[in-house]
C-alpha cells in the first residue's frame, strides 16, 4: 500500500509534528473518539488532517506547494451554516414564484405534489450535497474526485451558476431603482402626466369614466404602473431584435448591487457570519409586518381563499407535478454547487444532518408564508378594483414590479409600504447572490488551489468585474428579452435536470449510497434514516428523468408578457446557453478517457474509482488495495490506512 511520507512522519507522535510550513496531527480513531464504529474485524482508520497555521496575508511570497497555501477556513460560529443556507435557499423565488405556482396549479391541492417532491427529492439531495461538501472540505468541482470521469458535472454546475449570477443580479438592480423611487410622494407610478406616459395612460386612482372623454375603451387603456415599468424603468424595445442603448441608471444600480455582493464575500462567505445573520433574519421581519397589514385589509380573505382552496382535479395534470418538482429543485438550489460550497466550510464532525432538516423546513415554510402575505394583498387589490383575483395575480417580475406597486398606492402611507417591500426584495436577492457567487469562487479556487488560493480576494474581484461586464447587455433597452431567455434556459429546465440526474448517478450509483452513509456516520456518529437510501437510488432519479422527458417531449415556446414570442434564432441562442453547461459532461469524460492509460475497460474503471479515499471504510466500501491506494489530489491531505484487525 502506498502512503505519503508526511503521513508516516505524523504517525511518529500522537500530538503531531511540524513539516515545513504546515502542521499535521493524527486524528483519533473512532474508538478513541468515543464514536460508534464498525465491527472489530473490519478496518482500522487513521487520518491525517492539516492543523491550522497562521493564514498568510495577500501579497506574501507563496509558493505553489500545498504546504505553502493559506488555510481554507471554516464557519466561525455553530449557527453560521444554518443562516448561510437560509440566506441562499430563501430567495426571490419563495416570494414571487411559489405563491403564483400554488394558485395556478390547484391551490391547496398543489401542496400534495410539492411536499411529495420535497420528501422524495428535495431533502435527500440537499443532504447528499451538503454531506459530500463537508466530507471532502472542497467545492463543487473538487467533490468529483470521488468519480473522476464525472468531473464534467462539476464544471457544468459552475457554468450554470456563473450564468445565473449574470442575470439574477439584474433583478436587484431593478429593485434598487424602485426603492429609490419609493421615497417620493406621490409615488411616481401612481398617476399619469409624466414624460414617459402616453395618451392611453390610466392612473390608479382614476375611474374608467375618464376614458370616455379621451375616446378610449378599457381594453385600450394602459395602467400608469405598467407604463412606468416598461417605458421608464426598462424603456423597452419591440423585441430581441432591437437591443437598444444602455440604460445608465440601471447600469449604475447593477454596479452598486455587485459592490454590495463583493463587500460581503471578498474575504470568503464563511468569514462574514454576523452579516449573514442580519441579512437572513431581516426579510422575515418585513414579511411579518406585511402579513399583519395584509390580513387586516378588506378583501384579504378572498385572496387567501384563491391561494389555499384546493382544486383536486389539477392533480391529474402532469404539468402540476412537473411544476412542483422544478420549484423544489429551484428553491433548494440543487445541482449548482452552492449547497456543496456552504457545507464544505463546516468542521468535519459538525452535525450537518440536523441543520439540513432545519434549513429545509424553514425554506418550505417561508414559501407557504410568503403566499399568505402576497395573496392577502392581491385579494385587497382585487376588491378595490372590483375584479377577480385571477385578473390581478401575477408571477415573477410581474408581481414585484406591476402588481405590488399598484397595490401599495391604495394603502395609507403608500411610500412606507413600498420602501419596506422593495427593501425586503433587495435583501432576499443579495442573500442568494452572494451565496451563488461564493459557490462559483469556492469551486474554482479549490480546484486550482495552488494557482488561485493565495490570491483568492483578487480572484473574487476579477469574477465580480467580469460578471458585471457580462451583465451590461441585460440593462439595455432590450435587456428584459435577454433576461427572460437566460432565465428560461441557462440554469433551469433541461440543463438543470440533466446536471442533477448525472449528479445522482455519479454519487448514489457509482460512488455508492452505502459509501455516503459510511461517510455520514464517520462525521456525525450515526447514519440517517434508510429512506434516504431509497430516495438517492430510486425515487429521486425517477422523478428527475420524468421531468426531463416531459420538458423534452412538450417544449414550451419562450414568450415575454404574453404577447411577444421569441424568434427561432432567439431560442437557438437559449439552447446554446443550455448546452454550454451540459456539454461539459461528455466532453470531460472523453478527455479523461483519452488521457488515461491502459485498455478502455481499465480507463473506465479508473474513471469511476475515487481519487479521494473515504476517511473511514464501513459496510459497502471496497477493501481492495486498488481502490484505497490512489494518490490523493493536491487539495486533499486526508489519507486512509487500512489493515485487518
The candidate with the shortest Cα–Cα distance to 172, out of 392, 436, 383, 386, is: 436
CB-CB contact of 311 with 107 (8 Å):
yes
16: nearest Cα among 53, 49, 45: 49
CA distance 353 to 519: 12
Is 39 annotated among the ligand-binding residues?
A: no
Cis peptide before 38 (omega within 30 of 0): no
136 is in an annotated binding site: no
Residues 499, 513: Cα–Cα separation, whole Å: 18
- Beta carbons within 10 angstroms of residue 474's beta carbon: 24
* 324 contacts: CB under 8 Å, gap ≥ 6: 101, 105, 110, 113, 114, 116, 117
User: Is there a contact between 334 and 505 (Cβ–Cβ < 8 Å)?
Assistant: no
Residue 251, C-alpha cell as written in the block: 447600469
432 marked as binding residue: yes
Cell 479556487 belongs to residue: 445
According to the annotation, is 519 in a ligand binding site? no
Strands (DSSP E) found in 253-377 = none
C-alpha neighbours within 13 Å on the C-beta side of residue 46: 15
C-alpha 111/C-alpha 94 separation (Å) is 14
CA distance 611 to 2: 13
Measured CA to CA, the distance from residue 627 to residue 606 in angstroms comes to 9
How far is residue 433's CA from residue 256's CA, in Å, rounded to a whole number? Answer: 13
Rounding to the nearest 10 degrees, give the CA dihedral for residues 339, 345, 349, 354: -40
Give the CB-side neighbour count of residue 145, counting CA atoms within 13 A.
24
Task: Name beta bridge partners: 14.
Answer: none
Question: Phi and psi dihedrals of 48, rounded to 5?
Answer: -110, 125
Report the distance separating Cα 84 and Cα 424, nearest Å.
17
Contact by Cβ (8 Å): 376, 103: no
| Residue 428 marked in a binding site | yes
Measure the CA–CA gap between 420 and 428, rounded to whole angstroms. Answer: 12
At 620 the three-state DSSP class reads coil
What residue numbers does the annotated binding site for Na(+) cover?
A: 89-90, 94, 331, 428, 431-432
What residue numbers does the annotated binding site cover?
A: 89-90, 94, 331, 428, 431-432
Amino acid at each position: 500500500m502506498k502512503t505519503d511520507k508526511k503521513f508516516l512522519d505524523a504517525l511518529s507522535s500522537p500530538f503531531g509534528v511540524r513539516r515545513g510550513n504546515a502542521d499535521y496531527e493524527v486524528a483519533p480513531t473512532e474508538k478513541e473518539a468515543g464514536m460508534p464504529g464498525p465491527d472489530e474485524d473490519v478496518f482500522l482508520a487513521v487520518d491525517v488532517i492539516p492543523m491550522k497555521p497562521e493564514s498568510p496575508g495577500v501579497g506574501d511570497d507563496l509558493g505553489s506547494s500545498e504546504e505553502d497555501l493559506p488555510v481554507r477556513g471554516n464557519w466561525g460560529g455553530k449557527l453560521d451554516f444554518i443562516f448561510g443556507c437560509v440566506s441562499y435557499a430563501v430567495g426571490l423565488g419563495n416570494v414571487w414564484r411559489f405563491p403564483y405556482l400554488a394558485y395556478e396549479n390547484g391551490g391547496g391541492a398543489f401542496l400534495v405534489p410539492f411536499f411529495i417532491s420535497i420528501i422524495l427529492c428535495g431533502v435527500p439531495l440537499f443532504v447528499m450535497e451538503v454531506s459530500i461538501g463537508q466530507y471532502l472540505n472542497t467545492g463543487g468541482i473538487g467533490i468529483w474526485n470521488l468519480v473522476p470521469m464525472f468531473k464534467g458535472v462539476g464544471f457544468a454546475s459552475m457554468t450554470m451558476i456563473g450564468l445565473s449570477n449574470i442575470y439574477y443580479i439584474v433583478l436587484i438592480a431593478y429593485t434598487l431603482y424602485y426603492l429609490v423611487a419609493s421615497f417620493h410622494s406621490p409615488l411616481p407610478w401612481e398617476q399619469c402626466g409624466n414624460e414617459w406616459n402616453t395618451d392611453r395612460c390610466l392612473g390608479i386612482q382614476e375611474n374608467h369614466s375618464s376614458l370616455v372623454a379621451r375616446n378610449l375603451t378599457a381594453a385600450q387603456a394602459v395602467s400608469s404602473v405598467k407604463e412606468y415599468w416598461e417605458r421608464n424603468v426598462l424603456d423597452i424595445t419591440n423585441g430581441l431584435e432591437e437591443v437598444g442603448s444602455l440604460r445608465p441608471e440601471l447600469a449604475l444600480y447593477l454596479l452598486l448591487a455587485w459592490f454590495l455582493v463583493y463587500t460581503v464575500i471578498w474575504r470568503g462567505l464563511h468569514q462574514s457570519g454576523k452579516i449573514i445573520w442580519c441579512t437572513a433574519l431581516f426579510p422575515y421581519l418585513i414579511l411579518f409586518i406585511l402579513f399583519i397589514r395584509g390580513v387586516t385589509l378588506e378583501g384579504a380573505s378572498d385572496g387567501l381563499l384563491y391561494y389555499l382552496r384546493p382544486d383536486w382535479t389539477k392533480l391529474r395534470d402532469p404539468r402540476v407535478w412537473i411544476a412542483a418538482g422544478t420549484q423544489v429543485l429551484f428553491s433548494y438550489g440543487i445541482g449548482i454547487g452552492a449547497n456543496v460550497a456552504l457545507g464544505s466550510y463546516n468542521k468535519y464532525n459538525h452535525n450537518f444532518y440536523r441543520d439540513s432538516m432545519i434549513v429545509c423546513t424553514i425554506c418550505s415554510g417561508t414559501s407557504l408564508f410568503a403566499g399568505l402575505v402576497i395573496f392577502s394583498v392581491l385579494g385587497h387589490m382585487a376588491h378595490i378594483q372590483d375584479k377577480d383575483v385571477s385578473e390581478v395575480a401575477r408571477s415573477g417580475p410581474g408581481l414585484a414590479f406591476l402588481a405590488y406597486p399598484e397595490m401599495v398606492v391604495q394603502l395609507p402611507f403608500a411610500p412606507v409600504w413600498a420602501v419596506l417591500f422593495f427593501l425586503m426584495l433587495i435583501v432576499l436577492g443579495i442573500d442568494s447572490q452572494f451565496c451563488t457567487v461564493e459557490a462559483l469562487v469556492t469551486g474554482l479556487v479549490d480546484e486550482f488551489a495552488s494557482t488561485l488560493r493565495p490570491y483568492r480576494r483578487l480572484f473574487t474581484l476579477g469574477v465580480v468585474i467580469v460578471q458585471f461586464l457580462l451583465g451590461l447587455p441585460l440593462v439595455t433597452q432590450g435587456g428584459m428579452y435577454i433576461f427572460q431567455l437566460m432565465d428560461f434556459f441557462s440554469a433551469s429546465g433541461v440543463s438543470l435536470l440533466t446536471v442533477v440526474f448525472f449528479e445522482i448517478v455519479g454519487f448514489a450509483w457509482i460512488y455508492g449510497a452505502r459509501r455516503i452513509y459510511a461517510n455520514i456516520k464517520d462525521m456525525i456518529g450515526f447514519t440517517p434514516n434508510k429512506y434516504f437510501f431509497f430516495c438517492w437510488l430510486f425515487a429521486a432519479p425517477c422523478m428527475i428523468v420524468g421531468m426531463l422527458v416531459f420538458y423534452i417531449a412538450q417544449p414550451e415556446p419562450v414568450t415575454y408578457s404574453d404577447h411577444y414570442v421569441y424568434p427561432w434564432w432567439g431560442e437557438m441562442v437559449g439552447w446554446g446557453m443550455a448546452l454550454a453547461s451540459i456539454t461539459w459532461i461528455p466532453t470531460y469524460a472523453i478527455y479523461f478517457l483519452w488521457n488515461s492509460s491502459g485498455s478502455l475497460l481499465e480507463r473506465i474503471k479508473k474513471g469511476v474509482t475515487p481519487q479521494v479515499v473515504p476517511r473511514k471504510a464501513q459496510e459497502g466500501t471496497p477493501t481492495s488495495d486498488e481502490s484505497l491506494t490512489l494518490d490523493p489530489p493536491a487539495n486533499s491531505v486526508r489519507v486512509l490506512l487500512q489493515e485487518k484487525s
